[in-house]
Amino acid sequence: MRVVVARTTQTAAQPLERVLRGSCWVIDGDTIIIDKIRIRIAGIDAPELDHPFGKQSKWALVKLCKGQVVTARIKPELSYDRMVAECFLPDGRDLGAEMVRAGMALDWPKFSGGKYRHLELADARKKLWRAAVRQRGMMGAVERSLD
């Protein structure tokens, strides 16, 4: 694994960019590990492994990443214990866009600014309803009602 710090012109308005490159280990549909660093794919929300379509989402991401060198452009924010990054395959494909396009993740407009919304399949929010509920901040209430 290589950590690359891209230096262009160093100004206060343009901080240094941190980039990780390497093969990855897929945790779930929106989380990977590159060289022991846990990374949340920026701007998307995939179902948890124990939610409907969670395992399918993970395996869709495994299929995309298998045998590939992934480039992660680290963003300044953190998500729980994970760094957040825009992640790309060697051919330039955005992993977030590919997961949304495949119907295995949703655009999370709070974090993406709606970057991936146009790629969502027509029934994606209905199919991945638990992720959609989580985005509205209602997950605790739904889980209590299911108990």
List, as one string, the DSSP characters of 48-115.
-TTSTTHHHHHHHHHHHHTT--EEEEEEEEEETTEEEEEEE-TT--BHHHHHHHTTSSEE-HHHHTTT
Q: What is the largest CA-CA distance in the chain?
A: 55
Catalytic status, residue 120: no
**How crowded is residue 121: how many other Cβ atoms within 10 Å of its Cβ?**
15
Catalytic status, residue 7: no
Question: Among the options 38, 73, 82, 117, which is catalytic?
Answer: 82
In contact, 97 and 119? CB cutoff 8 Å = yes
Instruction: Give catalytic residue positions.
Output: 40, 48, 82
